[in-house]
């Protein structure tokens, strides 16, 4: 394919993929299968790698992320992002509408919108292309998070219809409840602390330095404010509808997320409806925003020094209720982490009946000074699981006993441990504690690990009770006759299961390492480790200092890895997994050269022609070794824009040769 043909094909695929993406994530009306979409995306990726001069910053391939941002640039807003005045009082909303009427508005027209509990963002478009995404910040200036926002599927990267030459559109980035639950389930599976609520998680996600991690978090957005030099619209609602026609995901009128009303009764109907139905939404809201619709009326009403007079927000009160603390259960997770859960007398909260609430850990119990039979205040706010936020000590009965955190595992009786610097207790009896045994096996066969279909939680629990499973290596000794004797295991399902177990021997090393269930070693960390070590044999020989050189590994993860591989029982069943033929070594990639053979390089900063991961791959393809930190063993520091000054200083102090992107390309003979 010549360059002209490639350019045409890249343009065509980009347009088609953008259209399919819009239909799927904005219109919720896909027209092709996920498989066909992925095939088209893969074809575009291959063409862009062969002809990088035709790759756009807004290519659909950017949706998967990969850019590294060491420092988020501060940007001054062209149009200040003012905050709204807000109230919890319906009476004050009535007074606010009354004040509007004093401005002599001919026809009162107000837009009521949901107040999304997320992160405010402004998106700048020029000639239909996204050029910059900036957070609210302090209202005058915010941070450039463009690389991360490009990964959000519902954000249009290239508009297709009749849009203005230059404009900004504002809205809210949020984490859907389903995505938040899935993320916390994954963190629990990895032995990590769950995140507190969707809003904070969305904010933290947008500040991640690796955009490929942002792409996996499932963020979403609604956009609802158009700003441009010359106004082409008469009112706010007209502008929002136009933005929808340009390709943006706007709040749907059909679902009642936004509505035009003409009096205080209409405002109150909107507020009251969503106060009752907010928990039915697939995302969190914390109130309602009311705006004067007509732009001329907005100008007439004006601003205070901090906020517009023509808009206000009504905030819902966090739903709370009193209940009686009946008892505490202690749950044992897959990695042995102990989570206390409060059993409560039933209470209605947020449209559901609450009987249990999370207490997180011993510190939370001590902070609340909880006693059995206490009257407690239960809250269902931004969190998915209700929590206890206070105690009514006036109602505490005489002689009530304070809750003392358990010392032994409730499942196996082992003495609990609490590592220094961590908030959770854990049971160290991994090989005999029933929830840990079953949890480790369930994790091992899960989709992102060994992906062995036909082994649900119930089946694994049955096989554990039948003494057919204890360690992951036992999956590979299961035989047909034994399985056929298990209740509800027919010949067809047994054949499929054995075939899936055999097929799992081809799962790559990074997923096998994740499947082992090492505490704090999640999917991404496992990938970083395998990229750095190349094999399990090398990993097991690493010292703590060598582990800390790997990107994303700190003291907690390093100590967990060392502890795991020191355990004789773990080494026993891992040896058996090696014997049955699992992949414990990264398959060697084709080398471009040996020009970097024997050399150790550190990559830092942001680059023009490559992502940081691409540069690391080039180092490996040319025989070199990647390291996460500068030391006396470092031969070269490949320095991009915005790299950390401490790393740069250390390299200079140690006399490490520093290469810019072009010098690195020349070194390996690969000038783009």
pLDDT digits (tens, 9 = 90+) for 521-547: 988 889 889 988 999 999 999 999 999
Rounded Cα gap, residues 161 and 252, in angstroms? 19
The full set of domain ranges for the chain reads: 3-55, 74-315, 319-395, 434-506, 509-579, 600-668
Of 99-108, 196-205, 237-246, 334-343, which gets the smallest average pLDDT? 99-108
Question: Does the pLDDT of residue 575 top 70, yes or no?
Answer: yes
How many helices, marked H, and strands, marked E, lie in the chain? 24, 20
Beta-carbon contacts of residue 306 (< 8 Å; ≥ 6 apart): 82, 83, 85
**Does residue 514 carry a pLDDT above 90?**
yes
CATH label, 434-506, candidates 1.10.150.20, 3.90.1150.10, 3.40.1440.10, 3.30.70.20: 1.10.150.20
| Burial readout 513-550 (b: 16 or more C-beta within 10 A, e: otherwise) | bbbbbbbbbbbbbbbbbbbbbbebeebbebeeebbebb
pLDDT of 628 above 90: no
Q: Cβ distance 507 to 580 under 8 Å?
A: no
Note whether 291 and 110 are within 8 A (CB). yes
Give the list of residues 6+ apart from residue 508 with CB closer than 8 angstroms, or none.
530, 583, 586, 587
365 pLDDT more than 90: yes
H or E segment and range at residue 367: helix 362-368
Look at residue 15 in the predicted model and tell me its pLDDT.
85
3-55: CATH number: 1.10.287.610
- pLDDT, residue 425, reads 93
Smallest CA-to-CA distance from 289 within 82, 79, 80, 85 is with 85
pLDDT of residue 671: 61
Q: Tell me if residue 177 falls in helix, strand or coil.
A: helix
CA dihedral for 414, 415, 418, 424, sign (positive or negative) = positive
Alpha-carbon gap, residue 29 to 12, rounded angstroms: 21
Domain spanning 319-395, CATH class: mainly beta
Count, residues in the chain: 672
- In this predicted structure, what is the pLDDT of residue 4? 87
Q: What is the structure's pLDDT at 120? A: 94
The reply to whether 299 belongs to the active site is: no
47 touches 108 (CB < 8 A): no
More confident residue, 407 or 422: 407
pLDDT of residue 146: 93
DSSP 42-107: HHHHHHHHH-GGG--TT-GGGGG---B-SSPPEEE-SS--PPPPEES-HHHHHHHHHHHHTTT-SS
What per-residue confidence (pLDDT) applies to 67? Answer: 65
Task: Assess whether pLDDT exceeds 70 at residue 382.
Answer: no
pLDDT score for 624: 87
Provide the pairing of β-strand 657-659 with 636-639: parallel
* 236-271: pLDDT as tens digits: 999 999 999 999 999 999 999 999 999 999 999 999
Which pLDDT does position 381 carry in this prediction? Answer: 60
Compute the average pLDDT of residues 481-498.
88
| C-beta separation of 290 from 299 below 8 A | no
CB 556 within 8 A of CB 335: no
pLDDT at 589 over 60: no
Q: Element (H or E) spanning 445, and its range?
A: helix 434-445
Q: Which of 27-36, 265-274, 322-331, 453-462 is predicted least confidently? A: 27-36
| Other beta carbons less than 10 A from residue 572's beta carbon | 12
pLDDT value, residue 222: 96
Q: Is the pLDDT of residue 38 over 80?
A: no
Q: Look at residue 65 in the predicted model and tell me its pLDDT.
A: 64
Characterize the bridge pairing of strands 129-135 and 119-126.
Answer: antiparallel
Question: Which one has a higher pLDDT value, 511 or 524?
Answer: 511
Residue 213 has pLDDT above 70, yes or no: yes
* C-alpha pair distances (Å), 638 with each of 594, 601, 629, 634: 18, 7, 12, 11
> 74-76 and 352-358: which strand pairing?
unpaired
Mean pLDDT over 54-67 rounds to: 76
Is domain 600-668 classified as CATH 3.40.50.10190?
yes
- Could you tell me the two tokens for 439? 């949890």
Report the topology of domain 74-315.
D-amino Acid Aminotransferase; Chain A, domain 1 (3.30.470)
- From residue 171, alpha-carbon distances to 62, 124, 134, 168, 397 in Å are 21, 12, 11, 10, 50
Mean pLDDT along residues 402-414: 95
Which architecture does CATH list for 509-579? Orthogonal Bundle (1.10)
Q: Do domains 434-506 and 509-579 have the same CATH topology?
A: yes
Token pair 């091992």 is found at 444
211 forms beta bridges with none
Spatial distance between the Cα atoms of 378 and 383, rounded to a whole number of angstroms? 12
- 385 CB-contact burial (10 Å; exposed 0-12 / middle 13-18 / buried 19+): middle
**Angstrom distance (rounded) from CA 487 to CA 485:** 6
pLDDT value for 641? 79
pLDDT, one tens digit per residue, over 416-464 is: 999 777 788 999 998 899 999 999 999 999 988 999 988 888 889 899 9
**Calpha distance 666→138 (Å, rounded):** 43
pLDDT for 82 equals 85
Cβ proximity of 630 and 651 under 8 Å: yes
Provide the token pair at 672.
Answer: 């783009």
% of the chain surpassing 70 pLDDT: 97
The helix (run of H) or strand (run of E) holding residue 561 is: helix 555-566
41-to-47, 62, 365 alpha-carbon distances in Å: 10, 10, 50
Point out the least confidently predicted range of 53-67, 107-121, 340-354, 632-646: 53-67
378 and 349 Cβ atoms separated by less than 8 Å: yes
pLDDT, tens digit, for every residue of 99-134? 998 887 778 899 999 999 999 999 999 999 999 999
pLDDT at 454: 85
Q: Are 335 and 519 in contact (CB under 8 A)?
A: yes
Helices (H), 251-326: 264-277, 295-301
Over the chain, what is the mean pLDDT? 88
Task: Please give the helix or strand (H or E) that residue 123 lies within, else none.
Answer: strand 119-126
Strands 387-391 and 375-380, sheet pairing: antiparallel
Contacts of 590 (CB under 8 A, 6+ apart): 621
pLDDT at 70: 65
Residue 168 confidence (pLDDT): 95
Q: What is the distance between the alpha carbons of residues 375 and 324, in angstroms, rounded to a whole number?
A: 5
Which token pair is 412?
């196996």
Nearest to 244 by CA among 15, 20, 17, 27: 27
pTM score of the predicted model: 0.64
* Active-site residue, from 70, 71, 115, 666: 115
Residue 410 has pLDDT above 90, yes or no: yes
| Structure letter (DSSP) for residue 394 | G
Backbone angles phi, psi at 328, to 5 degrees: -125, 130
CA-nearest of 194, 161, 158, 198 to 178 is 198
């Amino acid at each position: 394919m010549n360059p002209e043909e490639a350019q045409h094909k890249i343009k065509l695929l980009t347009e088609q993929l953008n259209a399919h993406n819009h239909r799927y994530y904005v219109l919720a009306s896909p027209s092709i299968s996920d498989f066909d979409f992925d095939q088209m995306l893969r074809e575009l990726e291959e063409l862009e790698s062969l002809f990088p001069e035709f790759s756009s910053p807004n290519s659909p391939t950017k949706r998967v992320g990969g850019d590294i941002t060491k420092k988020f640039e501060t940007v001054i807003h062209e149009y200040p992002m003012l905050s709204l005045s807000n109230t919890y009082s319906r009476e004050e909303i009535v007074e606010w509408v009354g004040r509007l009427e004093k401005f002599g508005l001919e026809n009162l027209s107000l837009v009521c919108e949901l107040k999304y509990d997320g992160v405010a963002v402004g998106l700048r478009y020029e000639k239909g292309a996204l050029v910059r995404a900036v957070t609210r910040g302090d209202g005058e200036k915010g941070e450039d998070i463009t690389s991360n926002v490009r990964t959000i599927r519902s954000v249009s990267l290239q508009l297709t219809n009749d849009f203005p030459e230059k404009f900004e559109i504002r809205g809210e980035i949020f984490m859907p409840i389903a995505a938040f639950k899935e993320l916390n389930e994954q963190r629990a599976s990895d032995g990590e602390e769950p995140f507190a609520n969707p809003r904070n998680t969305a904010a933290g996600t947008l500040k991640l330095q690796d955009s490929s991690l942002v792409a996996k978090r499932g963020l979403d957005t609604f956009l609802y404010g158009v700003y441009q030099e010359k106004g082409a619209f008469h009112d706010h609602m007209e502008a929002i509808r136009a933005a929808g026609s340009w390709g943006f995901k706007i709040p749907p009128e059909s679902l009642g997320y936004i509505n035009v009303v003409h009096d205080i009764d209409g405002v109150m109907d909107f507020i009251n409806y969503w106060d009752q139905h907010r928990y039915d939404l697939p995302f969190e809201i914390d109130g309602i925003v009311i705006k004067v619709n007509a732009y001329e009326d907005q100008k007439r009403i004006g601003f205070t020094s901090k906020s517009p007079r023509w808009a206000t927000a009504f905030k819902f009160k966090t739903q709370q209720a009193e209940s009686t603390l009946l008892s505490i259960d202690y749950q044992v997770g897959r990695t042995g982490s102990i989570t206390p859960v409060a059993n409560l007398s039933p209470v209605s909260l947020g449209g559901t009946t609450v009987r249990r609430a999370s207490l997180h850990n011993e510190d939370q119990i001590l902070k609340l000074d909880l006693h059995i039979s206490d009257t407690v205040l239960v809250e269902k706010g931004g969190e998915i699981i209700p929590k206890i936020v206070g105690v009514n000590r006036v109602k505490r009965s005489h002689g009530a006993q304070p809750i003392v955190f358990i010392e032994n595992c409730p499942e196996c009786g082992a003495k609990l441990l609490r590592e220094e610097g961590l908030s959770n207790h854990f049971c160290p009896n991994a090989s005999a504690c029933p929830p840990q045994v079953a949890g480790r096996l369930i994790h091992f066969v899960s989709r992102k690990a060994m992906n062995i279909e036909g082994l649900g939680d119930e089946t694994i629990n049955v096989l554990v009770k039948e003494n057919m499973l204890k360690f992951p290596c036992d999956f590979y000794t299961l035989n047909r006759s034994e399985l056929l004797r298990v209740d509800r295991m027919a010949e067809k399902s047994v054949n499929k299961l054995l075939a899936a177990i055999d097929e799992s021997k081809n799962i790559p090393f990074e997923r096998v390492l994740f499947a082992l269930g090492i505490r704090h070693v999640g999917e991404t960390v496992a990938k970083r480790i395998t990229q750095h070590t190349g094999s399990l044999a090398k990993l097991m020989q690493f010292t703590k200092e060598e582990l800390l050189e790997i990107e994303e590994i700190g003291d907690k993860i390093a100590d967990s890895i060392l502890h795991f591989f020191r355990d004789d029982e773990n080494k026993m069943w891992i040896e058996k997994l090696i014997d049955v033929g699992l992949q414990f070594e990264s398959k060697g990639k084709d080398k471009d050269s040996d020009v970097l053979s024997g050399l150790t390089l550190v990559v830092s900063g942001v680059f023009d022609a490559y992502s940081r991961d691409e540069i690391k791959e080039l180092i490996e393809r040319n025989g070199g070794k990647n390291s996460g930190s500068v030391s006396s063993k470092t031969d070269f520091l490949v320095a991009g824009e915005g790299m950390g000054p401490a790393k740069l200083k250390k390299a200079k102090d140690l006399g490490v040769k520093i290469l810019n992107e072009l010098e690195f390309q020349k070194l390996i003979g690969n000038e783009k």
